[in-house]
A = this chain, B = another copy of it.
Amino acid sequence: MKTVRVDLDDRSYPIYIGNDVLGAEHLAQHIPGRQVLVVTNETIAPLYLERTLAELSDFQCDAVLLPDGERYKTLETAGRIYDRLLESRMDRQVTLVALGGGVVGDITGFVAATYQRGVHFVQIPTTLLAQVDSSVGGKTGVNHPLGKNMIGAFYQPRCVIADTRTLATLPERELQAGIAEVVKYGLIRDAAFLDWLEAHMSALLARDPEALTYAIEQSCRHKAEVVAADEREAGQRALLNLGHTFGHAIETHTGYSEWLHGEAVGTGMCMAARLSAELGWISEADCARTERIVAAAGLPTRPPRMASERFLELMAVDKKAIGGKIRLVLLKALGHAVVTQDFDPSALDRVLAEYA
Chain A interface residues toward B at CB < 8 A:
34, 75, 79, 82-83, 86-87, 89, 91-93, 110, 113-118, 139, 141, 144, 146-147, 149-154, 232-233, 316-317, 319-324
Offer 6 A-B interface pairs, CB within 8 angstroms, sorted by A: A86-B147, A114-B141, A114-B153, A115-B151, A117-B139, A117-B319
Contact check, B321 vs A86: say whether CB atoms are below 8 A apart.
no
Once the chains are docked, how many angstroms separate the CA of A237 from the CA of B320?
Answer: 36
Task: Out of B86, B153, B232, B320, name the residue touching A317 (CB < 8 Å).
Answer: B86
Select the residue from A117, A232, A321 with max chain B CB neighbours within 10 A.
A117
Once the chains are docked, how many angstroms separate the CA of A87 from the CA of B146?
Answer: 8
Q: Min CB distance, A192 to chain B, in Å? A: 32
Q: Min CB distance, A327 to chain B, in Å? A: 10
Once the chains are docked, how many angstroms separate the CA of A24 from the CA of B115?
Answer: 38
Cβ-closest chain B residue relative to A324: B89
Task: Count copies of this chain in the complex.
Answer: 2
Q: Which residues of B contact A115 (CB under 8 A)?
A: 150-151
Q: A75-B75, A75-B79, A319-B92 are in contact. Are A117 and B324 (CB under 8 A)?
A: no
Select the residue from A89, A93, A141, A151 with max chain B CB neighbours within 10 A.
A151
Contact check, B114 vs A82: say whether CB atoms are below 8 A apart.
no
Task: Out of B91, B152, B154, B316, name the residue touching A323 (CB < 8 Å).
Answer: B91
Q: Which residues of B contact A321 (CB under 8 A)?
A: 91-92
Interface SS of chain A: helix, strand, loop or mixed? mixed
Contact check, A116 vs B319: say whether CB atoms are below 8 A apart.
yes
Q: Which residues of B contact A93 (CB under 8 A)?
A: 322-323
Q: Which residues of B contact A151 (CB under 8 A)?
A: 82, 114-115
Cβ-closest chain B residue relative to A91: B321
Contact check, B117 vs A153: say whether CB atoms are below 8 A apart.
yes
Q: Min CB distance, A328 to chain B, in Å? A: 15
Contact check, A116 vs B150: say whether CB atoms are below 8 A apart.
yes
Q: Which residues of B contact A86 (CB under 8 A)?
A: 144, 146-147, 150, 317
Q: A82-B144, A317-B89 are in contact. Are A323 and B34 (CB under 8 A)?
A: yes
Q: Which residues of B contact A117 (CB under 8 A)?
A: 139, 141, 149, 152-154, 232-233, 319
Q: Which residues of B contact A316 (CB under 8 A)?
A: 89
Contact check, B232 vs A154: say whether CB atoms are below 8 A apart.
no
Cβ-closest chain B residue relative to A111: B151
